[in-house]
Amino acid sequence: MSAQQSVFDWGMAWFAEEVHNKERLGLGVGRAFVLEHSVWGGTLGEQLLIAYVGLDQRISSVLLEILQRGSFMPEIPGFADVEEAAKRIAPHSARTPLLENCALNEHLQARILIKPDCLQRVGAFKFRGAYNAISRVDAAAFPGGVVTCSSGNHAQGVAEAARIMGFKAAIVMPSDAPKIKVRGVKRAGGEVIAYDRKNESRETIAKRIADERQAAFIPPFDDPKVIAGQGTVGLELMSDADALGAVPDAVLVPASGGGLISGVAIAVKHFSPGTEVYSVEPSGFDDLARSLKAGKHEHNEPGHASICDALLVPTPGKLTFEICREFLAGGLVVNDEAALSAMRYAFETLKLVVEPSGAIALAALLDGAFPVKGRTVAVVLSGGNVDPDMFATAIA
């Protein structure tokens, strides 16, 4: 399949999903499509128009508008972008270590390499992508600063990066976000705007605020600059593994929208094409694992709940899924009990404080979801922002 045809298929799948969402039919969809996603002109654009011209006159108008706007390919970051991001964030981010633990190795009869980005600035990997994106924002073009939406870790990363860059930051967060994450945003000077995650769209709210304030919207995951920033986790991991004389057979990474795992996969595959990369998600929110199997976007059914508050996005990002579909070997799923057990193990044995979402890759090893005996496997501990009550439950 040609790259051009792949882009066309990607656009068709996205647009089909959008036009069947009744709440977003009409010209508003077209504006969102033009502004937020890659669009096509010429022959491919004509194919899109032909494909949908019979569905609805409003949709036809949307497609005509798309054709008039021109065309460009999706901007998929590469390893060079990850390298550039590493240089950009270096003065402000922590280069977190790559650890080994004899007790863990003996317990699993394997060599386990631990990347604890719970030790990163703001207590999570999210600072990396946030700073890589915000440091490029034109203050003159966006006098209102920056706006984002997040369950908490990206929120803190954006607030801290904005503070460093001298921007105002407004963060749309769920009303049930962990208090430690809300406090982290406020401590960095960010404005918290609460929403109901069950009944409201955080993206709609955030983008409306960005428009009203002339602020730059910083996506939580589906953005080339954010992905490249998160990819520095993988760059450091593989560089440090090489210094230890190790080549991972596999790398396990927590996943939600896919910004971290897609960036890590780009870096891992650059250093070692034979290393397998797996996503790890909580039960009921395994949209990426199911999407990888189906070869198309799958959505989580409503009504599920998980203590992994940072991993509750309903479906993978458009750009991140394209990267994951190319580089990932598959997806793993673990339950909340396994996440709590991994938090306890990290505290008692590794001497690390990890939140449920951040512990889920380690949980996949300890719970047996991923066989490791005799292998070298790296895991990313992506965050450590956990409320005291939740942590007390885990280590009890």
Catalytic residue annotation: 126, 151
Sequence-ordered strand ranges (E) for 219-370: 250-254, 276-282, 330-334
Sequence-ordered strand ranges (E) for the chain: 111-116, 146-149, 169-174, 191-195, 216-217, 250-254, 276-282, 330-334, 376-381
Q: How far apart are CA 364 and CA 331, in angstroms?
A: 11
Q: How far apart are CA 156 and CA 166, in angstroms?
A: 15
Calculated CA dihedral for residues 309, 310, 311, 312, nearest 10 degrees: 60
Q: How far apart are CA 156 and CA 183, in angstroms?
A: 9
In contact, 381 and 117? CB cutoff 8 Å: yes
Greatest alpha-carbon pair distance for the chain in Å reads 65
Structure tokens belonging to residue 82:
């990850």
Neighbouring residues of 214: CB distance < 8 A, sequence distance ≥ 6 = 142, 143, 144
Of the candidates 226, 245, 228, 253, the one whose C-alpha atom is nearest the C-alpha of residue 114 is: 253
The residue written with tokens 């105002």 in the block is: 168
Q: How far apart are CA 266 and CA 234, in angstroms?
A: 8
In contact, 363 and 280? CB cutoff 8 Å: yes
Q: How far apart are CA 67 and CA 49, in angstroms?
A: 9
How remote is the C-alpha of 165 from its chain's centroid? 22
Number of H helices, E strands in the chain: 17, 9
Q: How far apart are CA 111 and CA 98, in angstroms?
A: 12
Q: How far apart are the first and last CA of the chain?
A: 53
Cα three-residue angle 309-76-287, rounded to 5 degrees: 35
Length of the chain: 396
